[in-house]
Amino acid sequence: MTTRPAEVGDRRRRRQAVLIAVMTVIFFFGGRLVYVQALQGPDLAAEARDSRTRTSDIRAPRGNIVDADGEVLATSVERYNVGVNQQLVRNYVRKDPETGEVLGTGAAEAAEVLAPLLDRDKAELGAELVGDSTFVYLAKGLTPEQWREIEALNIPGIEPEETTERLYPNGSTAGNIIGFVGREGQGLAGLELTFDEQLTGTDGSLTVEIGGTGQVIPTGLREEVPAEPGQTVHTTIDRDLQYFAQQSVDEAVAKWGAQWGAVVVEEVGTGRILAIADSNTVDPNNYQDWDQADWGSRAVQAPYEPGSTGKLPTFAAALEEDAVETDTVFTVPDTLTMPNGQTFSDNDDHPTEQLTTTGILTDSSNTGTVQIGDLIDDRVRYGYLRAFGFGEKTGIELPGETSGVLREPESWDSRTRYTTMFGQGMSVSLLQNTSMVATLGNGGVRMDPHIVDGLTDGEGEFAPTEVGEGERVVSEETADQMVAMMESVAADGGTGVLGQVEGYRVAAKTGTAQIVDGSGGLSNRLGSYVGLAPAEDPKVAVGVVMYKPPGMSYGGVIAAPVFSEVTGFALRQMGVPPSTTPPAMLARTPGEG
């Protein structure tokens, strides 16, 4: 049969059409393949990789806080949180290690062996092991030893999460200084708060490849960025002295029924704070058990009227301005009315006396002090108060520091201009008051108090705290004269005799001040004591305050014994030899000596 040309043409066209269709399909899928591989390939691969990887944080260990000798005050320890992949734990098979006999399988059997190690009820634990979640917490804060016991069970799906726990091995010792951290590890008080950024460090990360049910693929991707540990904070605190001072002030507060008490010990010449002790100091391990008012340091945060300890700047200013000498004689009655009509009285009635400048300080006479202070211009005297550090923060590395209150002399009324001469009408912190005495012990040069010697980073590099050369407040001669006068306060017959330290010469000043009560009255009082030792070459300045004792409130009675105990311990701790030279005995009355 002969094929017609038309039929041949039709078949040829059909073959061409099919070929075109096939080529079109090939080109389409080929193009699509090129598009997917060349253009979308990296994105798709990354998406697939992301779906197979899990990234977890590696917590950076928080830096330590240590005392001046490197003894640990705060540290972080390794801990483990334990969770379960419920999809994997169902595959658990427990066998007898000797016979290979299957003893149990699945979540129920896993709960049976896990419960004793986690101190959990096995029924409750078993319920938490059942489900489809890839991670559910079972326990937190386990020690490395506890985790190793759990790991040895080889239960599929039981996974660790490494973390840290903050510990304070000395309990409440220096708790007011160290502070504490919150649940998330952030600093909430004390040095933990001030140096939170430096202590925190930088977290690392661990990225691993996982299978469909959440298990880690041993041969898969594993990328680790190590954590950078936090820096170590080196404090100036002597741990043993801090402990002793806390015990001493706690006993005194209990004995006298004071609302609170505090002690500050400063190393003369350096500004290093060796101890800041507050009564009822918080234990950072259990800070929630303490009232929030006891979390910080009242020695740094609580302003009070210095009372007669505030007379020291007045006497120093008068000596420096050549208004008086140590043996200048004044007529001192028990009550005195000044030219502007303001009347002042001494604490105890006494006949009119002839006292030297030294005698006025020794007896802590208000009427004598206002006569001395009246010889100096108010603006000049205010300048000395400021130079001694009153009315401004010291800059110590602790949160919540008070600046106290020292108003400009232009705002003083006719009475305040006199009360500021003997420590009323202004307020200070115990830290400021102790720093003022340390300035006198340092030849008249004021050093800024500090409680941190420096920081050590993760590489072991130590960066010391920058300490200035200090600022001169009074001349060395004036400072020496002040110390000699203060020595008479602590000598027999002075108001501060109970502050004596056996074997050492002491220079000191007592203070008693009234406190405004809720109704505006002055029914409450405080007692304080500040001093130096040994007087011939001061090494430490110590300040003590006892706040609102209900009965006896004289600083020379309730604060002086604490000063004696703490100062004696500090000198022995520092290895300071006993005094061998006789005390300076300046004349208290005309013709004495």
Rounded average pLDDT per 10-residue block, the chain, 593 residues: 59 70 67 58 56 68 94 90 90 88 89 91 91 90 87 90 86 96 90 96 73 63 77 97 98 97 98 98 95 93 95 98 97 95 92 96 96 97 97 96 96 95 95 98 97 93 92 98 97 94 97 71 83 98 96 93 98 97 91 73
219 SS3 class: coil
- Look up residue 140 and give its two tokens: 């937190």
Write out the two tokens for 10: 């039709």
Helix (H) or strand (E) run with residue 507 in it? strand 507-515
Distances (CA, A) of 406 to 199, 304, 402: 35, 12, 12
CB crowding 99-132: b at 16 or more within 10 Å, else e: eeeeeeebbbbbbebbbebbebebeebbebbbee
Please identify which residue in the block is written with the tokens 């006569």. Answer: 371
Residue 205: how many other CB atoms lie within 10 Å: 13
Number of neighbours of residue 419 by Cβ within 10 angstroms: 20
Total number of residues shown for the chain: 593
What is the per-residue pLDDT for 229? 84
Which helix (DSSP H) or strand (DSSP E) does residue 267 occupy? strand 260-267
Structural domain 58-86+107-118+138-230, CATH architecture:
Alpha-Beta Complex (3.90)
Residue 57 pLDDT: 66
Q: What is the 3-state secondary structure (H, E, C) of 567-591?
A: HHHHHHHHCCCCCCCCCCCCCCCCC
Contact 307, 511 (CB under 8 A): yes
pLDDT, position 347: 87
pLDDT at 143: 86
Catalytic residues: 308
Q: Which sequence spans correspond to the domains of the chain?
A: 58-86+107-118+138-230, 239-457+466-574
Q: Which CATH class is domain 239-457+466-574?
A: alpha beta
Q: What is the pLDDT of residue 422?
A: 95
The predicted pLDDT at position 45 comes to 53
Phi, psi of 104 (to 5 degrees): 175, 165
d(CA 356, CA 325): 9
Helix, strand, or coil (residue 73): strand
Q: Are 267 and 448 in contact (CB under 8 A)?
A: no
Same fold flag, 58-86+107-118+138-230 and 239-457+466-574:
no
- Strand extents, DSSP E, 126-254: 136-142, 158-167, 204-209, 222-225, 232-235
Q: What is the pLDDT of residue 518?
A: 52
CB 307 within 8 A of CB 343: no
Q: Quick one: residue 392, left, alpha or beta (phi over 0 = left, psi -120 to 50 = alpha)?
A: beta
Phi-psi region of 230 (alpha: psi -120 to 50; beta: other; left: phi over 0): beta
- If we measure between CA atoms, which residue out of 111, 126, 89 comes closest to residue 213? 89
Judge contact between 556 and 496, C-beta under 8 A: yes
